[in-house]
Structure 1
């Protein structure tokens, strides 16, 4: 007669404790395992992020220097400036890049970029029934330009400007 049968004959309630012992040993083993410390991983910013931030800062400082200058067709200085004159002056002063005088010629400089890939410093070229217009992208949807009604200003690529956007050109590498 086995021990189990012997115990079963004397005790109405018998249990197989081997599973319970296994589970206890399992938890004991897990509790004794070395603790793994997970160190946070520091991801350096991408070169584009650093570049974009510094170009944005430079363009915002240019905006501060030009803010309040009125629009004047054919103007190229702080006495009055048109859109292409402003873009030409900013690129000359801030980046030592020489651009042509007209917005149409400026819109053909550098490399054409898809709208979804535009970044600060890119030229944004617009066309509508009144003619062409150019500005410089400062942030994701903000650009610097010389507005006929407001002078040198920052504007958003909104419901007015977005449908008129015809080309994005990258002149800064």
Structure 2
């Protein structure tokens, strides 16, 4: 797979921001944090693949970039291509397959879930670091990067899951 130099640079910058986790035992909102989870090679591939799909068109039920992608189709396609994992079904079904992790444990390649349709786990994206994720929204119809802390997504954040460990 070929990545543009700008895509590789952007990914490097995003990961660099994740490279300084809180030291072990540092208090975060009154709790003691665990040692940070390492970013695996598969996670790096997942993020790189996700970044390569930026601006791919949206299509409800879409499962490949040529036809268009919806959120769960994007996740399924990326995990199959980048990590060799078969992940199928709706965002809610994907959430059931993943191992729950806390928001403070997020690392690139993890999945983030949102309640965007008045039902739990109705939208999924791939966390890329620096409080950002890649997703395939139906609104404005293109795969893009969003801030987890944006008003819209902060209010709708549901949970995080990992498929990679």
Task: Give the TM-score taking structure 1 as reference length.
Answer: 0.65
Q: Does 1:152 align with 2:152?
A: no
Q: Distance in 2 between matches of 1:63 and 1:94?
A: 9
Contact 2:114/2:123 (<8 A) preserved: yes
Per-residue deviation, residues 23-79 of structure 1 (Å, max 9, x unmatched): xxxxxxxxxxxxxxxxxxxxxx99957626x56642443134322211100111112
Name the SS of the counterpart of 1:124 in structure 2.
strand
After superposition, the CA RMSD in angstroms is: 2.5
Contact 2:114/2:124 (<8 A) preserved: yes
Could you say if the C-alpha distance between residues 60 and 99 of structure 1 is closer, same or farther in structure 2, counting changes exceeding 3 Å?
closer
Q: Distance in 1 between matches of 2:51 and 2:157?
A: 25
Could you say if the C-alpha distance between residues 120 and 60 of structure 1 is closer, same or farther in structure 2, counting changes exceeding 3 Å?
closer
Alignment of 1:107-122 (within 5 A): 107-122=95-110
Q: Does 1:169 align with 2:161?
A: yes
Name the SS of the counterpart of 2:97 in structure 1.
coil
1:76 maps to which residue?
63
> Structure 1: any 5+ residue segments left out of the alignment?
1-44
Q: Distance in 1 between matches of 2:132 and 2:141?
A: 16
Q: Distance in 2 between matches of 1:61 and 1:118?
A: 17
2:12 maps to which residue?
none
Contact 1:119/1:140 (<8 A) preserved: no
RCO higher in 1 or 2 (8 Å CA, sep ≥ 6)? 2
Alignment of 1:92-111 (within 5 A): 92-111=80-99
Aligned residues: 128
> Structure 2: any 5+ residue segments left out of the alignment?
1-19, 22-34
Q: Is the helix fraction higher in 1 or 2? A: 1
